[in-house]
């Protein structure tokens, strides 16, 4: 990276640097041709990585011999060199060596070769697939520190507020030693404090908080781009923006944020509505009591929608004939009733949402955590609140909106890491312009994959899991069991309790204790029942003696919407060369099977489920997942097109074609 390519707020890049042209950074070639091009390119990159590692280690020996005062002087000198020469060649190697030595002195950890390779990949505007347990947090810290030495404001985006605070607290001594400032933005951070944190060299935040702050800035800039930039540069603006632009971002758990969460638009809304609207929604929900499935309406489970039949439309028209004026518009009437039917029949407590403190909180299907601040649109959230007996919140009207597909390409420099990127590499390249590169393992993988098993229903599955846990607990081997939902984790917990097996449950109800529960999952004989919450974020360290017992054993009782998410759970065991094992146990009443497999096939398989071949079970599961992945890809594509149209309509960010 030459110095001229390092974006910083100022005269050259403007007061609020961001990428205006959202055309792909890299061309997307047909599948076979892309593979043919990637192969020699990766070989060349691997040669460059070896040369870089050699240079870093040589520079590290020189810097390591410096006393404390000389080290500080070297840091100040290198910051000037980086800002003048940029991050490339010998300058990049020396900067990484400085960061590695600072890490050793302040944290007691030495950067591994794999972490240096990952940091280099991120600094080159790419995504690094780095296996779970290989030290992504420190690799991100190394990349962020190296970039910040050049003067670029760096945003580090991670999955949740806990990880935001934890990572800042862990790495702050490293940043401080390099003369850098770092801070955290969480949901509770006030606007003035947000502005202060974003003004630091490195700001940690969640994607949701960052996007909403960008939208707030965007609204204030709609009065005229040129005038706004001049006011900011001259210091005459009345209100300063929260951010300093979109210079560089490093996305942790990149697949979760850029792919899984990209099906949900980010909407900055203003509360509207009145008592009449809430009364209308309550009346609509009451009307659905008399409508019959298969007669008045049908389910489209693949699209998660309800469709009224001709009989249902006629019945609805007759039953609302004497109602008020709000019911006279046929399209509005039918759309609201369809939404009410979905709220009643398609959205279920402890699966799609929790009710906590008399509030409906959405459960993120990918992470298993509650999605703080997120609500369903078009009255769906209020309908579910009424269904659950909660006070309905005020309806919202859109002030500004954007999707992750349109937000992240606005960064002038963008990179990230995750343990599961390979399956989505083509979409990541075409939408975000981010090539994926795999980081080699530091130690050989010792994970054992055991045969798949299939059961007729969940009750049989939970009984079998209980028997397996009793067997493993006798040997002292810890067990981590992944379930699909809060309801499933509760059902399995009841089964284990009935068998007298002590265990710990982690689901969206216990999110405040997430780190403590996951961190203890490697203790001898411990049984941990969890949802996707245990898929990423916290290390599971094995207790003494557990390695000899075979390490952590993972039982996956979930068929996720994407094969990547299955790999995340499997990645909780056999980390950094430790032993471990994983097996997948499923039931035929799984939601994905019901949605994508013919009912006649499921009924035919039911009597033979326990005796089915492992390979056949795997093919059945993979087929259902491929259908779901294709559906989600289509959803993201449609959302992207809708977002482009909405952006043109709202005109909140100027020309960004």
Please write the tens of the pLDDT for every residue from 437-446.
Answer: 999 988 888 9
The per-residue pLDDT for 55 is 94
- Strands (E) in 278-420, as ranges, are 297-300, 305-308, 353-356, 359-362, 396-402, 413-418
- The percentage of residues in the chain with a pLDDT greater than 70, rounded to a whole number, is 89
H helix or E strand, kind and range, residue 40: helix 31-64
The per-residue pLDDT for 327 is 77
More confident residue, 491 or 366: 491
Q: Cα angle vertex 46, ends 41, 50, to 5°?
A: 150
Q: Which of 43-52, 262-271, 479-488 has the lowest mean pLDDT?
A: 262-271
pLDDT reading at 225 higher than 60: no
Same fold flag, 3-265+404-438 and 446-624: yes
SS3 label, residue 411: coil
DSSP secondary structure of 270-281: EE---HHHHHHH
The per-residue pLDDT for 652 is 46
Residue 528 Cα distances to 350, 479, 506, angstroms: 19, 6, 7
More confident residue, 23 or 413: 413
pLDDT per residue as tens digits for the range 301-360: 666 788 888 888 888 888 877 777 777 788 888 888 888 998 998 888 888 888 988 889
More confident residue, 251 or 543: 251
222: pLDDT confidence band, cut at 50, 70 and 90?
low
Rounded to whole angstroms, how far apart are CA atoms 530 and 507? 6
**Which runs of consecutive H residues, i.e. helices, occur in 346-499?**
380-387, 404-407, 425-432, 458-475, 486-498
Residues 6+ apart with CB under 8 A from 399: 215, 219, 268, 269, 270
> Residue 502 CB: number of other CB atoms within 10 A?
10
pLDDT per residue as tens digits for the range 365-384: 767 777 777 788 778 888 99
Task: Indicate the domain borders of the chain.
Answer: 3-265+404-438, 273-394, 446-624
Instruction: Choose from 247-256, 282-291, 377-386 the range with maximum mean pLDDT.
Output: 247-256
Q: Mean of the pLDDT values across residues 570-595?
A: 90
Specify the CATH class of 3-265+404-438 in words.
alpha beta
pLDDT per residue as tens digits for the range 503-544: 999 887 766 677 778 888 899 999 999 987 665 666 788 988
SS3 label, residue 246: coil
Say if CB 410 and CB 655 are below 8 A apart.
Answer: no
Q: Mean of the pLDDT values across residues 104-130?
A: 94
The per-residue pLDDT for 655 is 41
Q: Which of 79-88, 144-153, 272-281, 309-318 has the lowest mean pLDDT?
A: 272-281
Say if CB 116 and CB 96 are below 8 A apart.
Answer: yes
Strand 446-449, strand 297-300: pairing: unpaired
Beta strands across the sheet bearing 202-206: 182-185, 202-206, 154-158, 248-251, 413-418, 127-129, 436-438
H helix or E strand, kind and range, residue 546: none
The per-residue pLDDT for 485 is 87
Buried b (16+ CB within 10 A) or exposed e, 373-394: ebbbeebbbbbbbbbeeeebee
Q: Among 459, 454, 498, which residue's Cα sits nearest to residue 614? A: 454
Say if CB 250 and CB 140 are below 8 A apart.
Answer: yes
Residue 73 Cα distances to 69, 99, 142, 413, 517, angstroms: 6, 14, 20, 29, 44
The chain-wide mean pLDDT, for the chain, equals 86
Say if CB 397 and CB 272 are below 8 A apart.
Answer: yes
The per-residue pLDDT for 591 is 86
Tokens 């009935």 sit on residue: 498
Pick the CATH number of 446-624 from 3.40.50.300, 3.30.2310.20, 3.20.20.140, 3.40.50.880: 3.40.50.300
pLDDT per residue as tens digits for the range 390-412: 888 877 677 778 889 999 999 99
Q: Among 443, 470, 464, which residue's Cα sits nearest to residue 583? A: 464
Rounded to whole angstroms, how far apart are CA atoms 536 and 364? 14
Three-state SS annotation for 206-241: EHHHHHHHHHHHHHHCCCCHHHHHHHHHHCCCCCCC
The per-residue pLDDT for 646 is 63
Rounded to whole angstroms, how far apart are CA atoms 65 and 62? 6
H helix or E strand, kind and range, residue 505: strand 504-506
Residue 466 Cα distances to 347, 485, 626, angstroms: 29, 18, 30
pLDDT per residue as tens digits for the range 131-186: 888 889 999 999 999 999 999 999 999 988 888 999 999 999 999 999 999 999 99
Question: Directed axis angle between helix 161-177 and helix 136-149, to 10°?
Answer: 50
Give the total residue count for the chain.
657
653: pLDDT confidence band, cut at 50, 70 and 90?
very low
Residue 582 main-chain phi, psi, to 5 deg: -145, 140
pLDDT per residue as tens digits for the range 28-40: 666 667 666 677 7
Fold of 273-394: Pre-protein croslinking domain of SecA (3.90.1440)
Rounded to whole angstroms, how far apart are CA atoms 442 and 505? 32
Three-state SS annotation for 579-631: EEEEEEEEECCCHHHHHHCCHHHHHHHHHHHHHCCHHHHHHHHHHHHHHHHHH
Rounded to whole angstroms, how far apart are CA atoms 606 and 92? 60
Rg for the chain, CA atoms, rounded: 27
Tokens linked to 118? 């990952």
> What 8-state DSSP symbol labels residue 14?
B
pLDDT reading at 657 higher than 60: no
Question: Directed axis angle between helix 136-149 and helix 68-85, to 10°?
Answer: 70
Residue 634 Cα distances to 49, 421, 640, angstroms: 37, 19, 10
Rounded to whole angstroms, how far apart are CA atoms 182 and 168? 7
Rounded to whole angstroms, how far apart are CA atoms 259 and 405? 9
**Which runs of consecutive H residues, i.e. helices, occur in 504-590?**
514-519, 563-570
Q: What is the pTM of this model?
A: 0.86
pLDDT reading at 274 higher than 80: no
Residues 6+ apart with CB under 8 A from 322: none
656: pLDDT confidence band, cut at 50, 70 and 90?
very low
Instruction: Choose from 77-86, 91-100, 572-581 the range with maximum mean pLDDT.
Output: 91-100
> What 8-state DSSP symbol labels residue 532?
G
3-state DSSP percent of the chain in helix, strand and coil, to 5 = 50, 15, 35
pLDDT per residue as tens digits for the range 557-566: 998 888 888 8
Rounded to whole angstroms, how far apart are CA atoms 236 and 247? 23
Rounded to whole angstroms, how far apart are CA atoms 303 and 544? 49
Q: Among 190, 187, 60, which residue's Cα sits nearest to residue 113? A: 60
Question: Directed axis angle between helix 161-177 and helix 89-107, to 10°?
Answer: 100
pLDDT reading at 456 higher than 90: yes
């Amino acid at each position: 990276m030459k110095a001229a390519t390092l974006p910083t707020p100022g005269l050259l890049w403007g007061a609020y640097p961001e990428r205006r042209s959202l055309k792909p950074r890299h061309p997307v070639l047909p599948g076979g041709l892309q593979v043919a091009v990637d192969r020699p390119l990766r070989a060349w990159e691997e040669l460059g990585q070896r040369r870089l590692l050699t240079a870093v280690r040589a520079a590290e020996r020189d810097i390591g011999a410096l006393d404390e005062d000389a080290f500080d002087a070297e840091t100040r000198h290198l910051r000037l060199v980086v800002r003048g020469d940029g991050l490339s060649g010998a300058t990049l190697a020396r900067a990484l060596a400085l960061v590695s030595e600072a890490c050793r002195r302040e944290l007691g950890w030495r950067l591994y070769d794999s972490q240096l390779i990952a940091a280099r990949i991120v600094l080159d505007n790419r995504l690094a697939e780095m296996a779970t347990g290989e030290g992504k947090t420190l690799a991100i810290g190394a990349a962020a520190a190296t970039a910040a030495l050049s003067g670029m404001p760096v945003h580090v985006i991670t999955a949740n507020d806990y990880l935001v605070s934890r990572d800042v607290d862990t790495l702050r001594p490293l940043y401080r030693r390099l003369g850098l400032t770092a801070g955290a933005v969480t949901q509770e951070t006030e606007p003035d404090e947000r502005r202060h944190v974003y003004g630091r060299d490195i700001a940690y935040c969640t994607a949701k908080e960052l996007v909403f702050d960008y939208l707030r800035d965007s609204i204030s800039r709609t009065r005229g781009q040129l005038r706004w930039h001049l006011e900011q540069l001259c210091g005459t603006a009345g209100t300063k923006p929260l951010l300093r632009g979109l210079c560089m971002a490093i996305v942790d758990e990149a697949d979760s944020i850029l792919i899984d969460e990209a099906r949900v638009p980010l909407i900055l809304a203003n509360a509207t509505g009145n008592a009449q609207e809430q009364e209308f929604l309550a009346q609509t929900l009451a009307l659905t009591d008399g409508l019959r499935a298969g007669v008045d309406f049908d389910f489209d489970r693949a699209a998660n929608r309800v469709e009224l039949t001709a009989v249902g439309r006629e019945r609805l028209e007759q039953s609302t004939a004497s109602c008020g004026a709000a019911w006279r518009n046929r399209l509005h009437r039918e759309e609201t009733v369809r939404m009410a039917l979905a709220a009643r029949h398609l959205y279920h407590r402890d699966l799609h949402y929790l009710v906590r403190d008399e509030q409906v909180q959405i459960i993120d299907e990918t992470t298993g955590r509650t999605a703080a601040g997120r609500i369903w649109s078009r009255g769906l959230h209020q309908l579910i609140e009424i269904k659950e007996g909660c006070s309905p919140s005020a309806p919202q009207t859109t002030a500004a909106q954007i999707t992750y597909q349109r937000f992240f390409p606005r960064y002038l420099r963008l990179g990230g890491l995750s343990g599961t990127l390979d399956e989505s590499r083509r979409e990541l390249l075409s939408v975000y312009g981010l090539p994926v590169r795999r980081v080699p393992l530091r130690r050989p993988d010792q994970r054992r994959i055991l045969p798949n098993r299939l059961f007729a229903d969940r009750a049989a599955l939970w009984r079998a899991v209980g028997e397996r846990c009793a067997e493993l607990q006798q040997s002292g081997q810890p067990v981590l069991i992944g379930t699909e939902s809060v309801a499933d984790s509760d059902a399995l917990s009841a089964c284990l309790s009935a068998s007298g097996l002590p265990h710990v449950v982690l689901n969206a109800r216990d999110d405040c204790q997430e780190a403590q529960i996951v961190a203890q999952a490697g203790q001898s004989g411990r049984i941990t029942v969890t949802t996707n919450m245990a898929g990423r974020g916290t290390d599971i360290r094995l207790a003494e003696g557990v390695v000899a017992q075979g390490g952590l054993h993972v039982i996956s009782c979930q068929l996720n919407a994407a094969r990547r998410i299955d790999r995340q759970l499997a990645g909780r065991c056999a980390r950094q060369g430790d032993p471990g094992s994983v097996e997948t146990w499923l039931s035929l009443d799984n939601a994905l099977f019901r949605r994508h497999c013919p009912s006649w096939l499921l009924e035919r398989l039911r009597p033979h489920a326990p005796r089915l071949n492992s390979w056949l079970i795997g093919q059945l599961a993979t087929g259902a997942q491929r259908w779901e992945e294709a559906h989600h890809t289509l959803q993201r594509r449609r959302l992207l097109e809708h977002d482009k149209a909405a952006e043109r309509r709202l005109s909140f960010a100027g020309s960004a074609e």
